Structure 1
Amino acid sequence: MHVASLSLTDFRSYPGVEIELEPGTTAFVGPNGQGKTNLVEALGYVATHSSHRVATDAPLVRHGAQRAVVRALVVRDDRRALIELEINPGRANRARVNRSPVSRPRDALGLLRTVLFAPEDLALVKGDPSERRRFLDELLVARAPRYAGVRADYERVLKQRNALLRTAAATRAGRRRGPRRQDDEVAFASAGAGDPLTTLEVWDAHLVRHGAELLAGRLELVEALRPLAAKAYATLAPSSGLADLEYRGSNESTLSTDIPNLGTNREALAERLKATLAEVRQAELERGVTLVGPHRDDLLLRLGELPARGYASHGESWSFALALRLAAYDLLRSDGGDPVLILDDVFAELDSQRRRRLTEIVAPAEQVLITAAVPDDVPPELSGARFDVREGSVTRVR
Structure 2
Amino acid sequence: MYVSDLALTDFRSYQHVVLSLEPGITAFVGQNGQGKTNLVEAIAYLATFSSHRVAGDAALVRAGAERAFVQAKVVRGDRPVLLELEIVAGRANRARLNRSPLTRTRDLLGHLRTVLFAPEDLALVKGDPDGRRRFLDDLLTLLGPRMAGVRSDYERVVKQRNALLKTAASARRAGSDGDIRTLDVWDAKAAAIGAELVAARVRLLRMLRPHVQTAYEQVSGGQGTAEVAYRVRVGSGDAEEVEEDELVDAAAVETRLLEAMRRLRSREIERGVSLVGPHRDDVDLTLGGLPAKGYASHGESWSFALALRLASYEVLRTEHDLDVDGEPVLILDDVFAELDARRRERLAALVAPAQQVLITAAVAEDVPAALTGARLDVVNGTVGRGA
TM beyond 0.5: yes
The match for 2:240 is 253
Superposition map of 1:221-370 within 5 A: 221-251=204-234, 252-255=239-242, 258=243, 260=245, 262-263=247-248, 265-336=249-320, 337-370=326-359
1:276 Cα offset (Å): 1.1
**Deviations 1:111-153, CA, capped at 9 Å, x for gaps:** 0000000001111011110000000000000001110010111
In structure 1, the partner of 2:366 is 377
Q: Distance in 1 between matches of 2:166 and 2:27?
A: 50
In the TM superposition, what is the alpha-carbon distance from 1:170 to its structure 2 partner?
Answer: 1.3
Q: In the alignment, what sits opposite 2:323?
A: none
1:209 lines up with 2:192 in the alignment: yes
- Tell me, in whole angstroms, the C-alpha distance in 2 between the residues paired with 1:72 and 1:250: 40
Q: Tell me how far apart the structure 2 counterparts of residues 164 and 374 of structure 1 sit (CA, whole Å).
A: 53
- Paired letter, 1:76: R
**1:249, 1:12 → 2: CA distance?**
38
Other-structure match for 1:386: 375
**Partner AA of 2:341 in structure 1:** S
- Cα deviation, residue 269, structure 1: 1.1
- Tell me if the contact between 1:246 and 1:254 (Cα under 8 Å) persists in the aligned partners: no
Q: Cα 1:48–1:259, aligned 2, differ >3 Å: closer, same or farther?
A: closer
3-state SS of 2:233 partner: coil
SS of the aligned residue for 1:204 comes to helix
Local SS of the residue matching 2:65: coil
Name the CA distance, whole Å, in 2 between partners of 1:259 and 1:133. Answer: 17
Gaps of at least 5 residues in structure 2 are 321-325
Equivalent residue runs for 1:1-398 within 5 Å: 1-175=1-175, 187-189=177-179, 196=180, 198-251=181-234, 252-255=239-242, 258=243, 260=245, 262-263=247-248, 265-336=249-320, 337-397=326-386
* Structure 1 ranges of 4+ moved more than 2 A: 259-262
| Counterpart Cα distance in 2 of 1:213 and 1:22 | 39
Query: Which region of structure 1 is more displaced relative to structure 2, 33-42 or 239-248?
Result: 239-248
Alignment partners' CA distance in 2, 1:351 and 1:318:
10
Gaps of 5+ in 1: 176-185, 190-195
Which whole-Å CA distance do the structure 2 matches of 1:145 and 1:259 have between them? Answer: 24
SS of the aligned residue for 1:357 comes to helix
TM-score by length of 2: 0.96
Moved more, 271-280 or 10-19: 271-280
**CA shift at 1:171, angstroms?**
1.3
Number of aligned pairs? 378
String of CA shifts for 1:255-281, please: whole Å, max 9, x gaps: 4xx153631x11111111111111111
Deviation at 1:239, TM superposition (A): 4.6
Name the aligned partner's letter for residue 5 of structure 1: D
Percent of pairs with identical residues = 62
C-alpha RMSD over aligned residues: 1.1
Per the alignment, residue 183 of structure 1 pairs with: none
